[in-house]
Amino acid sequence: MIQAIVKKGKVLAEQIPAPSVSRGCVLIKVVNSCISAGTEISGVSNSGKSLIRRALEQPENVKKVINMVKSDGIASVYAKVKGKLDSGNPTGYSLSGVVIAVGEGVSNFEVGECVAAAGAGLANHAEYVDVPK
């Protein structure tokens, strides 16, 4: 499936595996996804900033990184940070679609039902999403 990923100041349409339905969730085939010009454009811009710029703007994260270096070593922390930056982040937080599968423990949704979903990290700009009921 195709999903919008924010990476290094750009939005990319990347091919990723489609999710399967999880326990307590519904799998939705997305029909419409809302793009917020303010919030999401800001996120795209921030993703293109250098590590130094981000560190200056978020000093609380610098402390976390220093503590991680002390406990895990610089090579490990560098690999984690680089991996996170290179992989990018899904974007989106508002969509509508059709339920195509219902997870175990979900009784108030049915396959074929039209639904809306919201929440950053859940209602992503993608062809399919697995969201909690």
pLDDT at site 65: 83
Which pLDDT belongs to residue 44? 63
With contact defined as beta carbons under 8 Å apart, do 22 and 122 qualify? no
User: Mapping DSSP to helix (H, G, I), strand (E, B) and coil, where does residue 126 land?
Assistant: strand
The listed CATH number (3.30.2320.30, 3.20.20.150, 3.90.180.10, 1.20.1260.10) that belongs to domain 2-132: 3.90.180.10
pLDDT of residue 88: 80
User: Model pTM greater than 0.85?
Assistant: no
Distance CA 28, CA 111 (A): 9
Per-residue pLDDT of the chain (133 residues; tens, 9 = 90+): 999 988 878 888 999 999 999 999 999 999 999 887 776 666 666 666 676 776 677 788 788 888 888 999 988 888 887 777 677 888 889 999 999 999 999 999 999 999 999 998 899 999 999 999 9
- Each domain of the chain, given as residue ranges in start order, spans 2-132
Cα-Cα-Cα-Cα dihedral sign, residues 77, 42, 88, 25: positive
* Count of C-beta atoms within a 10 Å radius of residue 40: 19
Tell me what pLDDT residue 42 has. 64
